Structures are given as C-alpha cells and as structure tokens.
Structure 1
Amino acid sequence: MQSPRASLRHVTRWPVWAIPPRLLLSVLVVELLAIGLVTADALSLVPVTWTDAQAGLLLCGAAVLHVEAVLGVERIRRGSQESHHVDLNSVWTFAGALLLPPVLASAAVVVIYAYLFARVQRPTGIPAYKQVYSAATVVIAVHAAGVVLLLTAPGQLYGTVGGTFALLLALLAYTVVNTCLVLGVVAMASPNVRILRVLGSGDEVILEIATLSLGALVAAALTTTTPLAVLLVIPPILVLHRTILVKKLQERADTDAKTGLLNSAAWHSQSRSALRAAERSETTAGVLVLDLDHFKIVNDRHGHLAGDEVLRVVANTLREEVRDHDLVGRFGGEEFVVLLSRLADTDQTPEDAAVEVGRIGDRIRRRVRELRVSSSAVDGSDATIEGVTVSVGGAVFPSDGHSLTTLVATADAALYAAKRAGRDTVRVGPDLARSRDESPGGDPLAG
C-alpha cells in the first residue's frame, strides 16, 4: 500500500496539471457543473421505474457491444484524429437523454465513457482527464436536451407533430452545447488554430446529425414492445465507423508526416481540381512557391530535429496566413507551395492579380522573418532559432498559364529571381522571373 506522500507525488504527476492554468480552470468549471447537475438529479428524488432501469441497462449493454465491435477501428481513428472528433457513441447517450430520467441518463454517460476509456483511450495513450472532460460535456448536453423536452414536449414525444418538433430542438440543443464546450477548450488550448479547421468539413457536421438521428430511433425502439430492436442500429454504426476510417486513412496518405501539410502528389491532384473550378467560375487564382533561405545552416547549427521543428512552425504559419479553402503543400526539403483559389473575377487585370498574389506572398515572408523557434522541445537547450527567411515566387491563373504545370514552372522561375535579388523577397510572374539556367554555374543559389 502506498504511503500518503507517495500518493501525493503520484497525483502531482498527473498530465492534467501540465495544461495552462486558464485552460485548467475552464476544464474544472465544466466538470464541476456536470457534477453539480448530477448531484441535483440525485437529490431531486425523481422516481425511477423498473422500466427506466431496464432501458438504461439495455443502452449501456448495446454501447458495450458497439465498442467491442469497432475496437480496432476506434483505436486507429482516435489515435489519428486531428479535427473535432465525431463521437458515434452519442447514439446511446442521446437516446438516454430522450428516454431516461436525468439521473439515469447521466449514469449511462458515465458507464459508457468509463468503458470507452478502458478499452480505447487508455491503450492508445490518451490521458484520462480528456475523457473525463468529454464525459462532462456530454452530461451537460444530455441535460440541455432534457430541458428542451421538458419545455416543449413534457408528454408524448413520438407520434405527434409537436413531439417531432421537440425532438429536433433537443437534437439541436445537444449538438450545440456539446460542440461549443469542446471547441471552446480547443480554442483556448490553441488560439492560433482556426475553429473551422478543427471542426472539419461539412461532412462531419452531417455525420454528427446522422448519429444523433440514429439515437432518436434507438429511443423510439425502446418504447416499443421489442426493445431488443435497438441492436439493429449496430450494423449501420459499424458501416459509419469503417467509412470514417477509410476517409482518415486517405487523409493520412495525402499528408506530409513532418509538417501536416498536403504532400506533393495530393497538392497537385487537389490543385488541378481547384483550377478547373476556377476556370468554370471564371475566377483568378494564384500559385506561390516558397523556399527557406540557407536552411542548411539551421540544420548544421542546431541539428536536424530542430530543423524539423522550424519546418513545422513555418507550415503552421502558412496555414494561418491563407484562407481555409486555399491549398498548402510541402514539395520536399524546405520548399513549400500554395494554391490561392478564388482570388477575384477574371475581369481583374493581370497586373492587379499579380499585385494581390505578391501581397499575400509578402505577408507570409514577413511572418516567417519574425518567427522565433525554441529548440528546447527537441534537445532540451535554451537556444532560440531566429532570422529564418523565405524567398517567394508567384504566378497568376489564367494570365500566366492555364495548366498547373505551367503555373508551377512560372512560380518556380520567379522564386529563383527572388533568390538572385538577395533572398527574403517576393517575385511574381514571368516578366520578373528569368530561367534558372541564367544564373552562373547552373544552380549556385539553391537553398
């Protein structure tokens, strides 16, 4: 048995204490609110019938079967998820919110999330405090849905127009409360990350609604004379899990592991599609090719691990400086590429389009020059890497070419013109970009 001092040392080493104090306070407030709601439910002495208890047990049992059926898929999915995680277990928790007394609905959330942590999160190394917070947000969302039902449909939920309207409002309340609590913490933890990027594409919103809709069907099945019909929901849930996994594996295949940007092949494929869309909609677009200046010096002075950290920071800067629908990729080494889609109508003059592309490139150039990258995360030293600069070349669609190959070649030639101009500068278009073969000795300015 551990001594009190050893137990205290163990508690002080919990990962939760490593998060920033402001974020920790917000997490604790949400968790305390959830505890307060459950306590109030327990003290309210609302009668719980045997039918309610049976429904709660059946929901928990179905959730356990669900977790076991998708165990391998979920471990992969949760270990690689970067956007807001659509929790397909809301099938069961939302059904509980519609059908069970609040105290039983909350108890079902606790049971389901405890089992989920033991079987999925813990083996993948996810800290327990994240699962505790997730459970707390779901408990609050369950109560929000319950309040909506109490105010709009205190009687029959199914079989009436009013009940259907109340059901839709409860679904909306559950989704909004849970999503806002999750994204609020994400925004505080990573203030530079765009919420829309974390939330993911519209497909994930549709998936969230579809999952909750299945939860409504589960609740309806439990009100019939054949409650075991809820098990029929598991096969479609399995299909959803595998569909999501295929999508995530595709995203992983398209992603550069070092920076999180699109890899070269994926960038080319998606950029060609974006240019076809620009041609159909008669809008202009731009291509930027960027190369870090003298990056070999960074690797030689600080090591390749520190160099990799610089690449990650630069990649994040690129994402922050362009719009969500622009495409950012890594060509390899210290070279990056950006497709700026839907800049303006094609009646914009080529000169104005080139100025806009150059302005965006110059904004990126200035941001990179201001970067200060600490190497303590990779080698434990107190060194700060600064003075990193980038040369930028640009091209404009359609004035500089209609094909992606031509645009990249023009932007690449402009990049070498920027190198010749002294680096840490921007050049756009073929008029400012002589071919790289004009530089003496072929390519003495690489890097």
Structure 2
Amino acid sequence: MRVPRRGVARWAVWTLPVPVLAVILAVELLAVGTLATSVPRDIALLPHNWALVVAVLVAAGVLSTEASLGVERMRHRSDETPHIDLSSVWTFAAAALLPGAAASLVVLGIYGHLYTRVWRGGIPPHRAIYSTATVVLAVQAASAVTGLVERTSLFQSLPGLAAVVLALLAYAAVNMVLVVAVIVLSGPNRDLATFLHVLTRGDEAVLEFATLSMGALAAGAMGALGPAYAVLVLPPLIVLHRTVLVRQLEEAASVDGKTGLLNAAAWHVRAVRVLRRAERTGGRAGLLVLDLDHFKMVNDQYGHLVGDHVLAAVAAAVRAEVRDEDLVGRFGGEEFVVLLPSTDAEDGRVAAVAVAERIRRRVADIQVDVPDARGGVVVDNLTVSIGGASFPADGADLAQLLEVADAAMYAAKRAGRNTVRMGLHAVPSGAVRPVPPHHS
C-alpha cells in the first residue's frame, strides 16, 4: 500500500528536476547568506533618513500594486510563465539610494505584498521565494556598484551616472540570468543556445531595462528633492502596467500554448503579409510543412502530457534552425509550418531544402527527458517528414503553396518517413490544382 506524503514532503518543490531544485536551493541560500553578512557592514553606511526611504519605497510599491491589482491578476491568469512584474522600479531605486541590507528590506516588503495580493493561489510558494531571492541578490549587486561612488553625488556627476548605468546592468544581469537558468533547466532543451535565446528575448529585456531606468529616475528625484517625490512615478507606472497587459493579451491570442510558436490563425495572417510584400518587391520565399512521424504512438505509450513535452522540444528544435525573421507556427496536432522569406536561391527551393534537412537531422537527435512520479522517461528516436514549396514557382499565393507543401509532405511519408520532398515535382499528378502563371 502506498503511504501518502504529509507535511513538508508534500511540497511541490520536491517534484522538480534535480538540476532545477539544486539551483533554487543554492540561490536561496546565497541570498540569505549575502543578506546576513551585509547587515553588520551596512549599518555604518546607512543615511540618516534610511528608514523613511525604505517606508516610502515599500509604500509606493504597495500602492502601485494595489492601483494595478486587476491588471496584475489578469496578467498572471493569461500567462503562467514568469514575467516582468514592474516592481524593479522601486527595488532598483532602493539599490541606488541605500546599502544592500536596507535595500533588501524594500524587496521583502514589496514581494511579500505581491505574494499575498497577487501570487497566492496562482503560483507555488517556492517560485515566489525564488523570485524574491533573485531580486535580493540583484539589489545587493546593484547597491555594491552604486556604493563605489558617494551616494550624495550619485546623480550629480559623470562618475555617478556611470555607476548608475553599471548598477542597472548588474541588476538586470543577476536577476535575468538566474530566472532564465531555472526556466531553461525546467524545459526539454537545456543547452547554451536555448539559454541565450530565452535570455535575449527582445520584449522582456526591453521592459526590464525600461522599469530599471524608471527606478533610476525615481531615485534621482528622491535623492535631490526628497523621498515624497516617489509619488510622481506612480501615474506613468500604472499606465505602463496596462500597456504591458494589452501586449501580453495580444501575444497570448497569437501564440500556441503548448509550443510557444505562432498558432495557425496568427501564422496565416503574418504569412499572407510576407508573401504580399515578396510579390510587390519581386522577392522569393520557401514554405515547409512538417509532420511528426508516429506521434500517436508517443501519446498512446506515454500519455498526452509527455506528448506535450515532445511537441515543445520539436518546436524548439525547429525554431533553433531558422532565422529570427522566419515565421514558425503550429498548425494543430503534430504538424508545424515554416515560411522562409527572401531566400536568395532560385525559387527559394535550395535554401528551403537546406533548412528542412537541418530540421530533420536535429529532430532525429532529440532526447526528451520528462520527469514523472516513476522517476522520468526519455523519449527519443523521433523523426519528422517534411514537404516544401517555393514562391512563386510552386504557387502564386499562400493557399497554393500550402497545398503543394502538404502534398509533398505526404509524398515524404510514402517514401518511408524521416525525409524531405520539395515542390511540384514531388507531388503526384493531379494532387494539387494547376498553378496559374505568375505575373511580375
């Protein structure tokens, strides 16, 4: 008979993969140790009004969260993955104005309020604790940099400006690297390329630097004019909260939840735009349709949750083998589609075949390690059949290209799977509509 786990043993943190658990515990212990050792050193460095500054920043963070409470809760409901919560405006201001220990008090106050008002019930406690620990370390790093310059002249000299910029970079580096490390270790692809791809996602990085810059401005106003001037940051921050929510909802509406790729509708809209632009400029493009071989066997043998991990791993493999400007989408089930605009080869065919072969080989090398109650399973020996079409040779619009590529993909299936077939010559006669002449 299986004995149910009780108490601490039931915490969700113990179900995490060992590498993730090791990183979480190490970061949390480092945050506690850094904070404990900084207290004796920082006592002598505290400004005379440090308690007022801490109180004002915590109050500002609380007011900001309360004013945007509905927005923040909606952001968490619409996107369960970690995202920028904009509280770094206040925590970075604390790092610029205060020694590390006092600045960490601001972090604990703001993040404690965030947990009770926004996160509780939505994310497990270990994620909230880890997020707090990463910010404590980021604040400690930024405060150490700003401490290299006399804080009273921090916003009144070029060396002070340089220190603020370096502190901003230190804060962002520590916080983002630690968060992204756990995200990557929790996923199917734990390589450096995946880490760098997630770390440099444009929107999240820009938003982080924007909030840190607002924090620097808030600290400058508070340092020069008084702590009460923190209130001037609240209106633009509330507006930014709502702007970010709109962007997040738009992204959620266009992204496939299991793979992170464009969903079929969003991919189709963008692909039509790309082909229209190529037609106006006389450009070329290639289109690939990919279908996982025997994917039903994966679902039947391991279950649909493991199948979802496999789909995510294949999506990451496809994304890794194409350029940033290429459109990658999931068409449903185990089928993916890629549009390769502005290929230089004749009719886009040679370049598209090269990309398809790279994807095929990369998928064949995938090993998906999925943890479960039995200790985990490894899914490998995956293959993909790929069909392609080129614009304008194989079709004058997206519908024709998809029809040719889909028929070529089934030709690849009939040829034994794990292969690539390209263009009208791979399609049996009569399988697709005749392509009308293309008029330039």
Same fold flag (TM > 0.5): yes
More displaced 10-residue stretch of structure 1: 57-66 or 228-237: 228-237
Structure 2 partner of 1:443: none
Distance change in 2, residues 1:73/1:424 (3 Å): same
Identify which of 172, 182, 187 aligns with 2:184: 187
> Could you tell me how far 1:98 is from its partner in structure 2?
0.9
Could you tell me which amino acid in structure 2 is paired with residue 360 of structure 1?
A: V
Map 1:340-355 to 2 at 5 A.
Answer: 340-343=340-343, 345=344, 348-350=345-347, 353-355=348-350
Structure 2 partner of 1:134: 131
Residue 266 in 1 paired to residue 266 in 2? Answer: yes
Could you tell me which amino acid in structure 1 is paired with residue 269 of structure 2?
A: S
Asked if 2 retains the 8 angstrom alpha-carbon contact of 1:93 and 1:109, the reply is yes
Asked if 2 retains the 8 angstrom alpha-carbon contact of 1:392 and 1:414, the reply is yes
Distance change in 2, residues 1:40/1:390 (3 Å): closer
> Could you tell me how far 1:109 is from its partner in structure 2?
0.9
Distance change in 2, residues 1:335/1:27 (3 Å): closer
Distance change in 2, residues 1:384/1:106 (3 Å): closer
Structure 2 partner of 1:433: 427
**Structure 1 CA distance, aligned partners of 2:102 and 2:303?**
56
Deviations 1:3-32 (A, max 9, x none): xxxxx9412222222223333333333222
Deviations 1:37-57 (A, max 9, x none): 221222223254551101110
Could you tell me which amino acid in structure 2 is paired with residue 215 of structure 1?
A: G
Map 1:216-295 to 2 at 5 A.
Answer: 216-225=216-225, 227-275=227-275, 284-293=284-293
Deviations 1:284-322 (A, max 9, x none): 532111234566676677777776665555444433444
Asked if 1 retains the 8 angstrom alpha-carbon contact of 2:407 and 2:431, the reply is no
> Could you tell me how far 1:255 is from its partner in structure 2?
2.3
What TM-score, normalized by structure 1, do the two folds share?
A: 0.81
Identify which of 147, 150, 173 aligns with 1:150: 147
> Could you tell me how far 1:330 is from its partner in structure 2?
2.4
SS at match of 2:328: strand
> Could you tell me how far 1:252 is from its partner in structure 2?
1.6
Structure 1 partner of 2:94: 96
Asked if 2 retains the 8 angstrom alpha-carbon contact of 1:259 and 1:311, the reply is yes
> Could you tell me how far 1:73 is from its partner in structure 2?
1.7
More displaced 10-residue stretch of structure 1: 39-48 or 115-124: 39-48
**Structure 1 CA distance, aligned partners of 2:167 and 2:380?**
52
Could you tell me which amino acid in structure 2 is paired with residue 206 of structure 1?
A: V
**Structure 2 CA distance, aligned partners of 1:435 and 1:170?**
65
Asked if 1 retains the 8 angstrom alpha-carbon contact of 2:101 and 2:140, the reply is no
**Structure 2 CA distance, aligned partners of 1:414 and 1:15?**
46
Structure 2 partner of 1:67: 65
SS at match of 1:338: strand
SS at match of 2:44: coil
What TM-score, normalized by structure 2, do the two folds share?
A: 0.83
> Could you tell me how far 1:425 is from its partner in structure 2?
2.9
Structure 2 partner of 1:357: 352
SS at match of 1:256: coil
Distance change in 2, residues 1:130/1:166 (3 Å): same
**Structure 1 CA distance, aligned partners of 2:349 and 2:263?**
26
Identify which of 378, 381, 386 aligns with 1:392: 386
Distance change in 2, residues 1:160/1:277 (3 Å): farther
Could you tell me which amino acid in structure 1 is paired with residue 64 of structure 2?
A: H
**Structure 1 CA distance, aligned partners of 2:319 and 2:304?**
23
**Structure 1 CA distance, aligned partners of 2:366 and 2:157?**
60
Deviations 1:82-112 (A, max 9, x none): 7662230001100101112322111111111
More displaced 10-residue stretch of structure 1: 257-266 or 292-301: 292-301
Structure 1 partner of 2:436: none
Could you tell me which amino acid in structure 1 is paired with residue 419 of structure 2?
A: T
SS at match of 1:217: helix
Structure 2 partner of 1:162: 159
Deviations 1:308-365 (A, max 9, x none): 665555444433444444322222344321113454x3xx334xx4243223323434
What's the Cα RMSD here? 3.4
Distance change in 2, residues 1:330/1:30 (3 Å): closer
Deviations 1:175-219 (A, max 9, x none): 222222222333333315723543464233222222112112221
Percent identity over the alignment is 49
SS at match of 1:55: helix
Q: Report how many residues are paired.
A: 424
SS at match of 1:261: coil
> Could you tell me how far 1:407 is from its partner in structure 2?
2.3
> Could you tell me how far 1:249 is from its partner in structure 2?
1.1
SS at match of 1:151: coil
Q: Which runs of no fewer than 5 residues in structure 1 stay unpaired?
A: 1-7, 439-447
SS at match of 2:148: helix
Structure 2 partner of 1:444: none
Asked if 1 retains the 8 angstrom alpha-carbon contact of 2:291 and 2:334, the reply is yes
Asked if 2 retains the 8 angstrom alpha-carbon contact of 1:84 and 1:199, the reply is no
Structure 2 partner of 1:339: 339
SS at match of 2:262: coil
Could you tell me which amino acid in structure 1 is paired with residue 27 of structure 2?
A: V
Distance change in 2, residues 1:321/1:433 (3 Å): same
Structure 1 partner of 2:114: 116
Q: Which runs of no fewer than 5 residues in structure 2 stay unpaired?
A: 433-440
Structure 2 partner of 1:416: 410
More displaced 10-residue stretch of structure 1: 179-188 or 310-319: 310-319
More displaced 10-residue stretch of structure 1: 130-139 or 322-331: 322-331
Asked if 2 retains the 8 angstrom alpha-carbon contact of 1:393 and 1:418, the reply is yes
